[in-house]
Amino acid sequence: MNILYHDVVRRRDIEEELNAKFMVLDDLLRRSDFVSIHAPLNEKTRGMIGERELSLMKESAYLINTSRGPTVDQRALTKFLKEKRVAGAGLDVFDVEPIPLDDALLQLDNVVLTPHIGGATVEATRALAMRAAENVSHALKGKVPPNLVPEQATVF
């Protein structure tokens, strides 16, 4: 598989490690068969995939969003899916969560929807449990837990 990516910061280490190619977003959308979004939600990423961006994608392409719902204009995506202007989508996040039962996405056969649990693998759940145990162990010993939230927290 050819890996294309876009980010606000070019990552030459990732390019070398994964044999990935950096591209501007419009070119990435035009060329990709699968577009997978992994971005935080902020003022720059809100609506980053809208009607204009979807129109750049191949009709045979799939959009996958596991980041945050509002990074994709859900109404525009629904329209493109209904009109078969993109082949399909895999969504783990939505504008409103849980997704309302009357949402048009639920009626489409070219979309796979999961209830914001895409990362809930056995491995990820085990890693979270181990991290929690490590934090508790540090606290019981009077040490600063390694994974404080918020990260700016002062000494324990």
Residue 10: which residues within 8 A CB-CB, separation 6 or more? 22
Pair 56, 35: CB distance under 8 Å: no
Question: Which stretches in the chain have pLDDT values below 70?
Answer: 150-156
Active site residues: 68, 97, 116
B/e letters for 32-69, b = 16+ CB within 10 Å, e = fewer, are: beebebebeeeeebeebbeeebbebbeeebbbbbbbbb
Which pLDDT value is given to residue 121?
A: 87
Which pLDDT value is given to residue 154?
A: 56
Task: Please give the domain boundaries of the chain with CATH numbers for all domains.
Answer: 33-118 (3.40.50.720), 121-156 (no CATH)
Q: How far is CA 2 from CA 31, 53, 129, in A?
A: 10, 21, 35
Measure the CA–CA gap between 138 and 154, rounded to whole angstroms: 15
**pTM, rounded to two decimals:** 0.80
Could you tell me how many residues make up the chain? 156
